[in-house]
Amino acid sequence: MLGRDVVEAFDGRGHEVISLTHDELDITHGPTVDARVREIEPDAIVNCSAWTDVDGAEAHERDAMTVNDTGAGLLAVAAGTVGASVVYPSTDYVFDGSKRTPYVESDLPQPISAYGRSKLAGETSVAAANSRHVIVRTSWLYGLGGGNFVETMLRLGTEQPEVLVVSDQVGSPTYTRHLATAIALLTESEDYGIHHVTGAGSCSWFEFAQEIFDQAALPARVMAARTEMLDRPAPRPPYSVLASEHRDPVVLPSWRPALAEYMSERERAATAADTG
Protein backbone atom coordinates (compact mmCIF):
# COMPACT_ATOMS: atom_id res chain seq x y z
CA MET A 1 0.00 0.00 0.00
CA LEU A 2 2.54 2.58 1.11
CA GLY A 3 5.06 1.81 -1.62
CA ARG A 4 2.46 2.35 -4.32
CA ASP A 5 1.38 5.69 -2.88
CA VAL A 6 4.96 6.85 -2.27
CA VAL A 7 5.75 6.33 -5.95
CA GLU A 8 2.69 8.36 -6.95
CA ALA A 9 3.42 11.11 -4.42
CA PHE A 10 7.02 11.67 -5.52
CA ASP A 11 6.16 11.34 -9.22
CA GLY A 12 3.35 13.85 -8.80
CA ARG A 13 5.79 16.32 -7.31
CA GLY A 14 8.10 16.12 -10.32
CA HIS A 15 10.74 13.72 -9.02
CA GLU A 16 12.29 10.95 -11.08
CA VAL A 17 11.22 7.79 -9.29
CA ILE A 18 12.77 4.34 -9.57
CA SER A 19 10.64 1.75 -7.79
CA LEU A 20 11.99 -1.72 -7.10
CA THR A 21 10.00 -4.78 -6.11
CA HIS A 22 11.25 -7.45 -3.72
CA ASP A 23 12.20 -9.61 -6.73
CA GLU A 24 14.27 -6.73 -8.10
CA LEU A 25 16.03 -5.95 -4.81
CA ASP A 26 16.37 -8.06 -1.68
CA ILE A 27 17.36 -5.50 0.95
CA THR A 28 18.67 -8.24 3.24
CA HIS A 29 21.53 -9.09 0.85
CA GLY A 30 24.26 -6.51 1.42
CA PRO A 31 26.34 -6.90 -1.77
CA THR A 32 23.24 -6.68 -3.96
CA VAL A 33 21.96 -3.61 -2.11
CA ASP A 34 25.33 -1.87 -2.36
CA ALA A 35 25.72 -2.62 -6.07
CA ARG A 36 22.20 -1.52 -6.97
CA VAL A 37 22.38 1.72 -5.01
CA ARG A 38 25.75 2.58 -6.58
CA GLU A 39 24.26 1.87 -10.00
CA ILE A 40 21.24 4.13 -9.47
CA GLU A 41 22.93 6.84 -7.35
CA PRO A 42 19.69 8.21 -5.89
CA ASP A 43 19.33 11.44 -3.96
CA ALA A 44 16.98 9.76 -1.49
CA ILE A 45 15.79 6.26 -0.68
CA VAL A 46 12.38 5.55 0.83
CA ASN A 47 12.45 2.09 2.37
CA CYS A 48 8.95 0.64 2.05
CA SER A 49 10.18 -2.91 2.57
CA ALA A 50 8.96 -4.35 5.85
CA TRP A 51 7.84 -7.40 7.76
CA THR A 52 4.35 -6.24 8.72
CA ASP A 53 2.80 -9.45 10.06
CA VAL A 54 2.51 -8.42 13.71
CA ASP A 55 1.26 -11.78 14.97
CA GLY A 56 3.58 -13.77 12.73
CA ALA A 57 6.59 -11.94 14.12
CA GLU A 58 6.00 -13.48 17.55
CA ALA A 59 6.96 -16.91 16.22
CA HIS A 60 9.44 -15.60 13.65
CA GLU A 61 11.17 -12.71 15.38
CA ARG A 62 14.52 -13.43 13.73
CA ASP A 63 12.91 -13.20 10.28
CA ALA A 64 11.20 -9.94 11.23
CA MET A 65 14.53 -8.58 12.50
CA THR A 66 16.25 -9.59 9.26
CA VAL A 67 13.92 -7.39 7.23
CA ASN A 68 13.01 -4.58 9.62
CA ASP A 69 16.45 -4.16 11.19
CA THR A 70 19.27 -5.77 9.19
CA GLY A 71 17.84 -4.95 5.77
CA ALA A 72 16.95 -1.42 6.79
CA GLY A 73 20.47 -0.88 8.10
CA LEU A 74 22.08 -2.22 4.92
CA LEU A 75 19.97 0.11 2.82
CA ALA A 76 20.85 3.08 5.03
CA VAL A 77 24.57 2.28 4.77
CA ALA A 78 24.36 1.99 0.99
CA ALA A 79 22.50 5.28 0.80
CA GLY A 80 25.27 6.94 2.77
CA THR A 81 27.94 5.70 0.37
CA VAL A 82 26.38 7.73 -2.47
CA GLY A 83 25.37 10.70 -0.32
CA ALA A 84 21.67 9.85 -0.34
CA SER A 85 19.22 10.38 2.49
CA VAL A 86 17.06 7.51 3.70
CA VAL A 87 13.46 7.41 4.91
CA TYR A 88 12.40 4.63 7.26
CA PRO A 89 8.68 4.28 7.99
CA SER A 90 8.22 2.99 11.52
CA THR A 91 5.32 2.33 13.85
CA ASP A 92 3.37 3.29 16.95
CA TYR A 93 4.11 -0.23 18.20
CA VAL A 94 7.54 0.91 19.41
CA PHE A 95 5.61 2.17 22.48
CA ASP A 96 4.00 0.04 25.18
CA GLY A 97 0.75 2.02 25.34
CA SER A 98 0.91 2.81 29.05
CA LYS A 99 0.47 6.58 28.51
CA ARG A 100 -2.92 8.19 28.25
CA THR A 101 -1.70 11.24 26.37
CA PRO A 102 -0.23 11.15 22.84
CA TYR A 103 3.33 9.94 22.45
CA VAL A 104 5.81 12.49 21.09
CA GLU A 105 9.15 11.90 19.39
CA SER A 106 11.21 12.27 22.57
CA ASP A 107 9.20 9.70 24.55
CA LEU A 108 11.16 6.58 25.43
CA PRO A 109 10.18 3.62 23.22
CA GLN A 110 9.36 0.37 24.99
CA PRO A 111 7.90 -2.16 22.56
CA ILE A 112 5.95 -5.12 23.92
CA SER A 113 5.84 -7.25 20.75
CA ALA A 114 8.42 -8.86 18.47
CA TYR A 115 7.23 -6.65 15.63
CA GLY A 116 7.68 -3.51 17.73
CA ARG A 117 11.16 -4.63 18.78
CA SER A 118 12.16 -5.25 15.18
CA LYS A 119 10.99 -1.81 14.06
CA LEU A 120 12.73 -0.07 16.97
CA ALA A 121 15.93 -1.97 16.15
CA GLY A 122 15.55 -0.78 12.56
CA GLU A 123 15.20 2.83 13.71
CA THR A 124 18.45 2.49 15.67
CA SER A 125 20.33 0.85 12.81
CA VAL A 126 19.17 3.42 10.27
CA ALA A 127 20.05 6.38 12.51
CA ALA A 128 23.50 4.92 13.25
CA ALA A 129 24.25 4.16 9.61
CA ASN A 130 23.19 7.42 7.97
CA SER A 131 23.01 10.86 9.56
CA ARG A 132 20.66 11.97 6.78
CA HIS A 133 17.77 9.86 7.98
CA VAL A 134 14.05 10.54 8.33
CA ILE A 135 12.25 8.08 10.60
CA VAL A 136 8.49 8.40 10.19
CA ARG A 137 6.46 6.73 12.92
CA THR A 138 2.88 6.17 11.87
CA SER A 139 -0.07 3.94 12.73
CA TRP A 140 -3.06 1.89 11.57
CA LEU A 141 -2.35 2.13 7.84
CA TYR A 142 -4.92 1.51 5.13
CA GLY A 143 -4.84 2.21 1.42
CA LEU A 144 -5.33 0.77 -2.05
CA GLY A 145 -3.24 -2.12 -3.24
CA GLY A 146 -3.02 -4.18 -0.06
CA GLY A 147 -4.92 -5.92 2.70
CA ASN A 148 -5.93 -3.66 5.58
CA PHE A 149 -8.48 -3.23 8.36
CA VAL A 150 -10.92 -1.27 6.21
CA GLU A 151 -11.05 -3.97 3.56
CA THR A 152 -11.38 -6.68 6.19
CA MET A 153 -14.33 -4.88 7.80
CA LEU A 154 -16.03 -4.30 4.44
CA ARG A 155 -15.69 -7.97 3.60
CA LEU A 156 -16.95 -9.17 6.99
CA GLY A 157 -19.76 -6.62 6.93
CA THR A 158 -21.15 -8.19 3.77
CA GLU A 159 -20.68 -11.77 4.95
CA GLN A 160 -22.15 -11.72 8.46
CA PRO A 161 -24.67 -9.72 10.49
CA GLU A 162 -22.36 -9.05 13.44
CA VAL A 163 -18.64 -8.34 13.64
CA LEU A 164 -16.57 -8.51 16.84
CA VAL A 165 -13.97 -5.71 17.14
CA VAL A 166 -11.75 -4.68 20.06
CA SER A 167 -12.75 -1.49 21.82
CA ASP A 168 -9.82 -1.16 24.26
CA GLN A 169 -7.08 -0.29 21.76
CA VAL A 170 -6.90 3.38 20.75
CA GLY A 171 -4.85 4.86 17.94
CA SER A 172 -5.02 6.96 14.77
CA PRO A 173 -6.07 5.49 11.41
CA THR A 174 -3.82 6.76 8.62
CA TYR A 175 -4.52 6.77 4.87
CA THR A 176 -1.33 5.79 3.02
CA ARG A 177 -1.93 8.36 0.27
CA HIS A 178 -1.77 11.15 2.85
CA LEU A 179 1.24 9.58 4.57
CA ALA A 180 3.08 9.27 1.25
CA THR A 181 2.63 12.97 0.59
CA ALA A 182 3.99 13.73 4.05
CA ILE A 183 7.02 11.53 3.37
CA ALA A 184 7.68 13.43 0.15
CA LEU A 185 7.47 16.76 1.99
CA LEU A 186 9.83 15.61 4.74
CA THR A 187 12.29 14.25 2.20
CA GLU A 188 12.31 17.50 0.25
CA SER A 189 12.73 19.61 3.39
CA GLU A 190 15.63 17.44 4.62
CA ASP A 191 14.18 17.69 8.12
CA TYR A 192 16.14 14.77 9.51
CA GLY A 193 15.33 12.82 12.65
CA ILE A 194 12.19 11.20 14.00
CA HIS A 195 8.74 12.44 12.97
CA HIS A 196 5.33 11.29 14.16
CA VAL A 197 2.86 11.41 11.27
CA THR A 198 -0.65 9.97 11.52
CA GLY A 199 -4.19 10.84 10.62
CA ALA A 200 -5.47 13.56 12.93
CA GLY A 201 -7.63 12.53 15.85
CA SER A 202 -7.99 9.12 17.44
CA CYS A 203 -10.45 6.29 17.94
CA SER A 204 -10.68 2.66 18.99
CA TRP A 205 -10.76 -0.15 16.45
CA PHE A 206 -14.42 -0.54 17.43
CA GLU A 207 -15.17 3.11 16.60
CA PHE A 208 -13.20 2.82 13.38
CA ALA A 209 -15.24 -0.20 12.33
CA GLN A 210 -18.49 1.61 13.14
CA GLU A 211 -17.46 4.52 10.93
CA ILE A 212 -16.50 2.16 8.10
CA PHE A 213 -19.92 0.50 8.21
CA ASP A 214 -21.68 3.87 8.43
CA GLN A 215 -19.85 5.28 5.42
CA ALA A 216 -20.37 2.09 3.42
CA ALA A 217 -24.04 1.92 4.49
CA LEU A 218 -23.64 -1.68 5.63
CA PRO A 219 -26.31 -3.06 7.98
CA ALA A 220 -23.88 -5.27 9.93
CA ARG A 221 -23.64 -4.58 13.66
CA VAL A 222 -20.28 -3.97 15.37
CA MET A 223 -19.90 -5.77 18.69
CA ALA A 224 -17.35 -4.53 21.23
CA ALA A 225 -14.72 -6.92 22.54
CA ARG A 226 -11.77 -6.73 24.89
CA THR A 227 -8.31 -7.56 23.58
CA GLU A 228 -7.96 -10.74 25.64
CA MET A 229 -11.16 -12.12 24.11
CA LEU A 230 -9.56 -12.40 20.68
CA ASP A 231 -6.46 -14.25 21.95
CA ARG A 232 -3.99 -12.83 19.41
CA PRO A 233 -0.35 -14.03 19.56
CA ALA A 234 1.16 -10.53 19.73
CA PRO A 235 0.37 -8.04 22.50
CA ARG A 236 -0.81 -4.62 21.31
CA PRO A 237 -0.36 -1.27 23.01
CA PRO A 238 -3.73 -0.22 24.46
CA TYR A 239 -3.04 3.43 23.64
CA SER A 240 -0.72 4.39 20.79
CA VAL A 241 -1.85 7.83 19.65
CA LEU A 242 1.08 9.83 18.26
CA ALA A 243 1.68 13.58 18.29
CA SER A 244 4.61 15.70 17.14
CA GLU A 245 6.70 18.11 19.15
CA HIS A 246 8.30 19.57 16.00
CA ARG A 247 7.81 23.29 15.60
CA ASP A 248 6.24 22.94 12.15
CA PRO A 249 5.00 19.33 11.87
CA VAL A 250 3.36 17.79 8.84
CA VAL A 251 -0.34 17.56 9.69
CA LEU A 252 -2.58 15.01 7.99
CA PRO A 253 -6.38 15.24 7.56
CA SER A 254 -8.61 13.94 10.32
CA TRP A 255 -9.28 10.21 10.13
CA ARG A 256 -13.01 10.40 9.34
CA PRO A 257 -12.76 12.57 6.18
CA ALA A 258 -9.62 10.63 5.25
CA LEU A 259 -11.65 7.43 5.36
CA ALA A 260 -14.31 9.04 3.18
CA GLU A 261 -11.62 9.98 0.66
CA TYR A 262 -10.37 6.43 0.64
CA MET A 263 -13.86 5.03 0.15
CA SER A 264 -14.36 7.31 -2.85
CA GLU A 265 -10.97 6.37 -4.27
CA ARG A 266 -11.59 2.63 -3.98
CA GLU A 267 -14.98 3.09 -5.68
CA ARG A 268 -13.31 4.95 -8.56
CA ALA A 269 -10.67 2.21 -8.81
CA ALA A 270 -13.35 -0.49 -8.89
CA THR A 271 -15.29 1.38 -11.60
CA ALA A 272 -12.14 1.80 -13.68
CA ALA A 273 -11.35 -1.90 -13.35
CA ASP A 274 -14.89 -2.88 -14.39
CA THR A 275 -14.75 -0.67 -17.49
CA GLY A 276 -11.38 -2.09 -18.50
What's the distance, Cα to Cα, between the start and end of the chain in Å? 22
- Residue 206: closest CA among 152, 165, 260: 165
SS3 140: coil
Distance CA 210, CA 162 (A): 11
Per the annotation, the verdict on 115 as an active-site residue is yes
User: In angstroms, what CA-CA distances link 258 with 95, 186, 200, 261?
Assistant: 25, 20, 9, 5
- Residue 190 CB contacts under 8 Å (≥ 6 apart), including other chains: 85, 132
Catalytic residue among 103, 115, 142, 175: 115
Query: What positions carry a catalytic annotation?
Result: 115
